[in-house]
Amino acid sequence: MLIQSAAWLLCLTERSPTLTQAREQVRAVLLSPVPMQIWQRLLEGQGVDLRTYEIVLTKESLAPSVVGVVAPQESWIHECDARLIGALVRDLGGGRCTIEDSVDSRVRVDQLACVGTHVCCGDRLGRVHGPDAARTTEAARQLVNAFVIRDYPPLPESIVCEVMAASPDDSLLFMDSN
């Protein structure tokens, strides 16, 4: 979808004559060092020490406490509530309510199971990285509530059903049921 969207933008801004050529152009840029160079410039612009940043990326976790969350039964993931997860991370200190609030960059939720995934009892639904054992354990209990699980698979739904273009000849209809 990223390649398709970027290719459409190249065509609509007349930077590529055809959608096929635009896709090739996008793939070439994504495989080049350019995206990483741009990312590093953005980080440097925010005052990030890139050497420290690279070291931190090699670590499994910087949080004092990490708690895994597992499926309570064999089931299918039907929904995952991003708002609840965001509030959970914020409440652990990983986000702000006001500009004055500090952010604990060690706090996060990761390894989330995807909607549509079949899980067995004990399979990982996600992990919570928190500031201390008590708060992280409580957040892990809350993370279970972010998932809607049922004993049957969810129906596939289309993520993108239509892309509109400048003229009817340029329109493209595609479905993605993943």
Q: What is the CATH number of the domain that holds 85?
A: 3.90.1170.30
Starting at the edge strand found earlier in the chain, the sheet holding 147-150 runs: 118-119, 75-80, 147-150
Q: pLDDT averaged over the chain?
A: 88
**Are both 76 and 33 inside the same structural domain?**
no
Contact 150, 120 (CB under 8 A): no
The pLDDT, as a whole number, for residue 178 is 43
Q: What is the pLDDT of residues 58-68, one digit of tens each?
A: 999 999 999 99
**Are both 96 and 123 inside the same structural domain?**
yes
The pLDDT, as a whole number, for residue 158 is 54
Provide the number of structural domains found in the chain.
2
In a domain, 166, yes or no: no
pTM: 0.68
**Are both 69 and 42 inside the same structural domain?**
no
**Are both 116 and 145 inside the same structural domain?**
yes
Could you give the 3-state DSSP secondary structure of residue 157?
coil
**Are both 67 and 144 inside the same structural domain?**
yes
Domain that holds residue 69: 62-150
Alpha carbon of residue 90 to chain centroid:
16
**Are both 77 and 37 inside the same structural domain?**
no
Q: Which residues, other chains included, contact 123 with Cβ-Cβ below 8 Å and sequence gap of 6+?
A: 70, 71, 113
- Nearest to residue 126, comparing CAs of 104, 106, 148, 108? 108
Tokens of 161: 């059903």
